[in-house]
Amino acid sequence: MFEKIFFLLCLSTALAEQLCRPEASDGYRVRLSIKTALGDEAYVWNDNEMFLFRATLAFAMRNQISGQEFEVSNIIVCDETPRVSFWFVVTSPQNTSQLVDKESVEEAVRKSRNRINSAFLLTDKTLEFIGIPPTLAAPVNPDTPPWLIVFGLVMGAVGAGIIVLLASSVVQKKRKNDEKPDDEEIDEETRVKTVENSAASEGIYNRSFSDDERFTHM
Amino acid sequence: MTTDNEVTDGEAGGAEQKEGTERPKWDNKVQYLLTCIGFAVGLGNVWRFPYLCQIYGGGAFLIPYVIALVFEGLPLLYMELAIGQRLRMGSVGVWNSISPYLGGLGVASMMVSFLVGLFYNMILAWVLWYFFHSFQSPLPWRDCPLNLNHTGYLTECEKSSPVNYFWYRKTLNITPDIETSGPLQWWLVLCLATAWCLVYICFIRGIETIGKAIYITATFPYLVLTIFLVRALTLSGATDGLVYLFTPNWETLKNPKVWLDAATQIFFSLSLAFGGLIAFSSYNPQKNNCERDALIVGCVNSLTSIYASIPIFAILGFKANENYNDCRNWNILKLTNAFNIGDENITLENYDDWLNHLNTTDPSEVESLSLKTCNLQTFLDQSASGTGLAFIVFTEAVIRMPGSQVWAVLFFVMLFSLGLSSMFGNLEGVLTPLLDLHMVPPWIPKEIFTGLICLTSFTVALIFTLGSGNYWLEIFNSYVGSMPLLIIAFFEIISVAYIYGINRFNDDIEWMTGRRPNIYWQATWRFISPFMLLVVFVAYVVIEAEKRPTYNAWNPDYVNFPLADVLHYPEWVFAICVLLSVLPVVSIPLVALYRFIGLLKKYIMNRHNPNPYANEFCNGDLKCKHCQSDETNAGQYPLRKLIT
């Protein structure tokens, strides 16, 4: 009896190995970069971590295909390397020799990507599923672009400044206009003086004055 | 002048210049010096001089630069400050006073100032756009935007880089060539309006408000440069950049183009021939030591260029180092993934050993990976000047520095201050001649007139907000801001040295400063500077005329994108280029011709109706100022100037 059990075990592992191989059509390669992500706090990759991976993936498959109860044994892993990369395939719980198709696996991984990442304290970049591009996070788009806010502030300040300066100029001018009647009297006296002077020198028609009349703004 | 009105409250009477109103003046000497320094120190000191230093053999470039400063820059600067201070008028008035035939020089200066002001403020608008965007986290030029179905990034951005994409697509929204105009970009119109409003508010009352604003705009850049210097020197790779910049390569001195570029750089850097310096010094009291002022402004300008290049190159060295490490890390990742070696087993230090080992064990596999060749020198060689330096290279460096927002804000505010203080000079070169010529009706207050000028400039400058705006700006920059200035400066120095008379000029300076200019100034004004200007101008024309002008276009559909698509200017655009170069300087002969015709008319009239006074004062000399129709000095007799 023991021989039968032993034979069955060998057969199953042999079958499993046949199902999972590099470049399998329904499998994916996984690559982890633990040291890059965690630096000094990196954990060592061992069989327990692998067990967690298989369990997480089974969880993802359960989420994707409702009704089917995926177990850890349904996730078969092979070709482990020191890089920490390996291939995996997923077998159907109803028929262990049949693989779940690629698209479903991809969908499942995509849906639960965040959970898988956080189980290992990694990110999309450090836990890679070769062939499954990560869904990029949409950038936050606020209703009012922030630059318009800064623009509004600057323009508001400048506009206020211009109005203040113009208003103060108008006020200054009004004040000067009130003082002007006094100044105009002084002006008239000097003007009278110049007229007297030119009257004294008049005798011959002096062309240089007549030319300037066209251009002086007096 | 003591019987005249002592109205000195700013510019209220500026428009109506009766003999009564006193010319506006600076509050103190520091304001005047800071304004001149601010005008001279501009964007070119930060983004043109370091570039020239880099491509022309680092420390060796300083030699032609200093020689050009001593023999071309300082003499021209001293001359402009002296005549402005002596004749107390803007550029048009000054040249009219020296000889009415030379009035065209002033008009040319005014036109060049106007045209340069148009595109210069557009650059400031771009700086403002980046400034507005520096208050976000993360900075918008750090990441590429996602494509429609969120599976990847936009192709245009992926092929070039996020920084390039933000500049060419998000900011300029540039068209593939200059003939496609595209619509007005509303965001650039807003930024341009802001820039002009900021210029207006500083300019609103002429030098009264400029003098206050200049305390900040002229000193702030130095503060920021010092902060950047301290920060940059702590970054890794900074020393590589500095060594690269300052290592002298004496071979370059044999290349004549180096000397030409040094001469043109000094000339444009000091903002000569714009008329702005003449206008600023015309507000000085006449008894002022303008020799010392000229030396201060000239030397501070050059020292600022050198000082600015240190942090710029430290930061560029840091950026090159980062790019170099990225390149090598990319190679390392490729090797790690291909050979399934443990994560982080290959580091930057042992990369070479690993590579050798792998090459010996499995060369074909290594071959198939097509690893990049990473060379620090290539990254350091990626030089840029102008807008490329500020908006592409520097912004990329800033996103890698911790606390990027702070550095971005500081950098763009610094650029804005540098540009704003130069804009003051440009506008002053337009405003003062117009006011002195009394072309402004006296009932328009100065504030309104300034506003009208700003509004006109803004409207014309809207061409730079089109999709093809950047191409037009390059045209203005190359054709307006270069040759006309050289021509104007040449005529300026010839007219002062030979038409006004160097002896008369020496007397004026002795009257103003208390001593005659020494042999150095005499030699440079009479022979060396005009000769140098002539040589520079001829060399410039020869080099420009050699090749049919081309421009770099940003075309995402280009085969070799992201490399620039080099296109030729179409005929009509080239005609505009020539027009832009010729239009300012054509006023010089035109005005001389106009005056000469006027003179001929007068001569013919005088023959029919002799003026008895003409012979008495002038002894038949028709050039005597009393005989000419003196509308040039707007009713003021030239004699009056000698008295005031």
Q: Would you call B151 and A133 a contact, using CB atoms and an 8 Å cutoff?
A: yes
pLDDT the model gives residue A25: 79
Q: What is the b/e burial string over B47-61, where b = at least 16 CB atoms within 10 angstroms of the residue's CB? A: bbbbbbbbebbbebb
Residues 6 or more apart in contact with residue B139 via CB below 8 angstroms: B133, B395, B398, B399, B404, B405, B408
Residues making up the annotated binding site of B are: 38, 40-41, 45, 269, 301, 418, 422
Pick from B151, B197, B631: CB nearest A162 = B197
Pick from A33, A35, A151: CB nearest B194 = A151
CB < 8 Å to B131, chain A: 150
pLDDT the model gives residue A155: 94
* Closest chain B CA to residue A216: B635
Identify from B343, B615, B640 which residue to disrupt to test chain A contact, counting A C-beta atoms within 10 A and taking the largest count: B343
Beta strands at A85-90 and A127-130: parallel, antiparallel or unpaired: unpaired
Pick from A138, A207, A208: CB nearest B150 = A138
Q: Would you call B201 and A33 a contact, using CB atoms and an 8 Å cutoff?
A: no
pLDDT the model gives residue A208: 61
pLDDT the model gives residue A216: 52
Pick from A150, A151, A217: CB nearest B442 = A217
pLDDT the model gives residue A184: 59
CB < 8 Å to A135, chain B: 150-151
CB < 8 Å to B12, chain A: 169, 172-173, 176
Where chain B has pLDDT below 70, the residues are 1-21, 611-644
At residue A182, does pLDDT exceed 80?
A: no
Residues 6 or more apart in contact with residue B155 via CB below 8 angstroms: B147, B556
Alpha-carbon gap, residue A91 to A95, rounded angstroms: 7
- CB–CB of A81/B340 below 8 Å? yes
pLDDT the model gives residue B31: 92
Rg of the Cα atoms in chain A: 45
Pick from B129, B340, B629: CB nearest A81 = B340
Structure tokens at A115: 């959970």
Name the minimum distance, in Å, from the CA of B302 to any CA of chain A: 33
Identify from A207, A214, A216, A218 which residue to disrupt to test chain B contact, counting B C-beta atoms within 10 A and taking the largest count: A207
Alpha-carbon gap, residue B351 to B325, rounded angstroms: 12
pLDDT the model gives residue B611: 64
Alpha-carbon gap, residue A87 to A131, rounded angstroms: 12
Q: Would you call B342 and A82 a contact, using CB atoms and an 8 Å cutoff?
A: yes
Q: Would you call A147 and B200 a contact, using CB atoms and an 8 Å cutoff?
A: no
* Longest distance between any two alpha carbons in chain B, whole Å: 110
CB < 8 Å to A217, chain B: 16, 18, 438, 442, 634-635
* Closest chain B CA to residue A213: B635
Name which of A208, A216, A212 is nearest B16 in CA terms: A216
Query: How many beta-carbon contacts under 8 Å exist across A and B?
Result: 121
pLDDT the model gives residue B409: 95
pLDDT the model gives residue B631: 41
**Residue B452 CB neighbour total at 10 angstroms:** 12
pLDDT the model gives residue B634: 40
Return the residue matching tokens 């592409």. Answer: B392
* Longest distance between any two alpha carbons in chain A, whole Å: 151
Q: Kindly report the length of chain B.
A: 644
Name the minimum distance, in Å, from the CA of B3 to any CA of chain A: 9
Q: Would you call A83 and B201 a contact, using CB atoms and an 8 Å cutoff?
A: no
Query: Which fold, B29-354+372-608?
Result: Amino acid/polyamine transporter I (1.20.1740)
Identify from B141, B149, B340, B447 which residue to disrupt to test chain A contact, counting A C-beta atoms within 10 A and taking the largest count: B340
Alpha-carbon gap, residue B334 to B370, rounded angstroms: 9
Name which of B425, B427, B446, B424 is nearest B435 in CA terms: B446
At residue A40, does pLDDT exceed 60?
A: yes
- CB–CB of B206/B446 below 8 Å? yes
Element (H, E) at A60: helix A47-64
Pick from A82, A155, A187: CB nearest B197 = A155
Q: Would you call A162 and B204 a contact, using CB atoms and an 8 Å cutoff?
A: yes
- CB–CB of B599/B607 below 8 Å? no
Mean pLDDT of A35-55: 88
Mean pLDDT of A15-39: 79
* Closest chain B CA to residue A151: B132
Residues 6 or more apart in contact with residue B611 via CB below 8 angstroms: A207, A208, B627
pLDDT the model gives residue A192: 52
pLDDT band of A214, cuts 50, 70, 90: low
Q: Would you call B635 and A35 a contact, using CB atoms and an 8 Å cutoff?
A: no
Return the residue matching tokens 């010096």. Answer: B33
Residues linked to residue A81 through DSSP beta bridges, in sequence order: A85
Q: Would you call B343 and A34 a contact, using CB atoms and an 8 Å cutoff?
A: yes
3-state percent helix, strand, coil for chain B, nearest multiple of 5? 70, 0, 25
Q: Would you call A133 and B340 a contact, using CB atoms and an 8 Å cutoff?
A: no
Q: What is the Cβ-side half-sphere exposure of residue B435, based on CA atoms within 13 angstroms?
A: 31
Q: Would you call B12 and A172 a contact, using CB atoms and an 8 Å cutoff?
A: yes
pLDDT the model gives residue A9: 66
Q: Would you call B630 and A215 a contact, using CB atoms and an 8 Å cutoff?
A: yes
Residues making up the annotated binding site of B for Na(+) are: 38, 40-41, 45, 269, 301, 418, 422
pLDDT the model gives residue B305: 93
Rg of the Cα atoms in chain B: 28
Pick from B152, B341, B630: CB nearest A82 = B341
CB < 8 Å to B441, chain A: none
Give helix then strand counts, H and E, for chain B. Answer: 30, 2
Name which of A118, A51, A128, A123 is nearest A83 in CA terms: A128
pLDDT the model gives residue A74: 86
Ramachandran area for residue B514 (φ above 0: left; ψ -120 to 50: alpha; else beta): left
CB < 8 Å to B630, chain A: 211-212, 215
Q: Would you call A162 and B342 a contact, using CB atoms and an 8 Å cutoff?
A: no
Alpha-carbon gap, residue B396 to B394, rounded angstroms: 5
Alpha-carbon gap, residue B457 to B420, rounded angstroms: 15
- CB–CB of B475/B580 below 8 Å? yes
Alpha-carbon gap, residue B279 to B427, rounded angstroms: 10
Q: Would you call B613 and A206 a contact, using CB atoms and an 8 Å cutoff?
A: yes
pLDDT band of A134, cuts 50, 70, 90: confident
CB < 8 Å to A31, chain B: 337
CA-CA-CA-CA torsion for B633, B636, B642, B644, nearest 10 degrees? -120
Pick from B12, B611, B612: CB nearest A176 = B12
- CB–CB of B637/B19 below 8 Å? no
Phi, psi at residue B567, to the nearest 5°? Answer: -120, 155
Pick from B18, B133, B205: CB nearest A147 = B133
Alpha-carbon gap, residue B268 to A197, rounded angstroms: 52
CB < 8 Å to B145, chain A: 139
Q: What ipTM, to 2 d.p.?
A: 0.79
Three-class SS of B143-165: CCCECCCCCCECHHHHHCCHHHH
